[in-house]
Copies of this chain bind each other. A is one copy, B any other.
Amino acid sequence: MEDEVVLLASSSSAVVSMNGGGEGNTSYADNSNFQQLIASVTRKARRDMAAALYRARGRPASLAIADLGCATGPNALLMVSDAVDAVLAESKSGGDEGAPQLHVFLNDLPANDFNAVFRLLPSSPLAGTGCLVSAWPGSFYRRVFPDASLDYVVSSSSLHFLSKAPSMATEHLNRGRVHVTEAGPAAVLDAYRAQFHADFLAFLSCRAAETRARGLLLLTFVARRDARPTAHDCYLWDLLADALMDMAAAGLVDEEKVHSFNAPYYAPCPDDLARVIAKEGSFALRTMQLFDTTRRRLLGPSHPTSDGDDDDEFPRWLAAETAGTYRQGSRRAYAADPLRLGRHGRALLQVPPPARGILPQEVYQEQG
């Protein structure tokens, strides 16, 4: 019982991080299949972008690839391995004399189990590639890397975690709930949105200093489709709140703490992302894509869900992928010197250069 009380008391103010790479029911390493599925859906786009960046840079002698919020367990090296493999394949197919020296920068909070990540290296796809791997502990809402040290920055399934729970006008504004709800007060959604905007702005501002000219960010969030959250978007948080209130009724947790607790988590809609990117101003939005990540969609229609539930009853989580290109000098320079992204097809090439102070955005829904 004490455990639950502590959880509720501390999570609202402390930074929340994943559990370690160990075993057991609470091991993140053993409970990150969903994150892995998101990664598999975005894999081709990520590989193509890494190869395109390498070409656009004129096949440089070295390239720095970072994963922000790499976590631990089997997913920790997934993002960087895909990028490394894509760049080396591009280097080979392009007939480079020697392979580029690739630097892999892994970031997560200081409590992340980096030891477990390092133990995976010898058996990972990075082994034998000659790339140099490093770990940079710290919140990605602050500075992590040296000035102008990164070329290709990936963050997958991390940026929906806020730096802290949002500040509410009154402590019990979100009584009996732990997150935004479909029918909840607008002030709760506003508070969550404001916290996300502040955090994402800080993230972009730090990365702007750390990313080299014409570097690329590729960010994957759990997202929602529309500005107003639907019942589906809030489904799991509603379930959790109901469970906590039942526990409070049974005397297992303090009801006041359930009322005051708000999870530091926000799944942005595309408009949230575009607004903050425009406001921060260092990056130009190249493409934004919504991936449907219901379990059935991910596993394929012929793959029955393990518990026999109708998957359509589950929320349609969306992974929104945002690629921003860092620029230096005037915004117009972007149009004159676009990345050569021929392999990405029409959608990416159609993104117009920024104009009228508003960055362009196009949102694509995957054809299911």
Contact = CB atoms under 8 A, between A and B. Distances in A.
Given A64-B146, A132-B136, A132-B146, 17 more contacts: A62-B147, A101-B147, A103-B146, A105-B134, A110-B118, A110-B119, A110-B121, A114-B115, A114-B135, A115-B115, A118-B137, A132-B138, A132-B143, A132-B145, A133-B138, A134-B136, A135-B135
Please provide the 10 A-B residue pairs with the shortest distance between their CB atoms, ordered closest to farther: A110-B118, A135-B135, A134-B136, A118-B137, A134-B134, A115-B115, A103-B146, A114-B114, A114-B115, A132-B146
A111 interface: yes
Interface in A137-152: 137-138, 143-147
A6 to B, nearest CB: 20
Contacts of A111: 118-119
Interface string A119-139: 101100000000011111110
A133 B136 CA distance: 6
Contacts of A30: none
A310 B326 CA distance: 67
A85 interface: no
Contacts of A135: 114, 134-135, 137
Interface string A310-352: 0000000000000000000000000000000000000000000
A113 interface: yes
A132 B149 CA distance: 12
B101 A146 contact: yes
Q: Which of A121, A134, A138, A143 has the most CB of B within 10 A?
A: A134
A121 B146 contact: no
A141 to B, nearest CB: 15
B113 A137 contact: no
A133 B135 CA distance: 9
Interface in A58-102: 62, 64, 101
Contact of A113 (B105, B115, B121, B133): B115
Range, interface on chain A? 20 to 34
Nearest to A103: B146
A132 B144 contact: yes
Nearest to A120: B110
B132 A62 contact: no
A146 B146 CA distance: 13
9 contacts: A113-B115, A115-B115, A132-B136, A132-B144, A132-B145, A132-B146, A133-B136, A133-B138, A135-B137
Q: Which of A101, A114, A145 has the most CB of B within 10 A?
A: A114
Contacts of A103: 146
Contacts of A122: 110
Given A133-B137, A136-B133, A146 B114 contact: no
A145 B105 CA distance: 11
Nearest to A130: B143
Identify the interface centre among A101, A103, A137: most chain B CB within 10 Å of its CB: A137
A91 to B, nearest CB: 17
A111 B114 CA distance: 11
Given A101-B147, A132-B144, A137 B110 contact: no
Contact of A137 (B64, B105, B121, B138): B121
A70 to B, nearest CB: 13
A202 B134 CA distance: 21
A304 to B, nearest CB: 40
Interface in A144-170: 144-147
- Of the candidates A101, A114, A132, the one having the most CB atoms from chain B within 10 angstroms of its own CB is A132
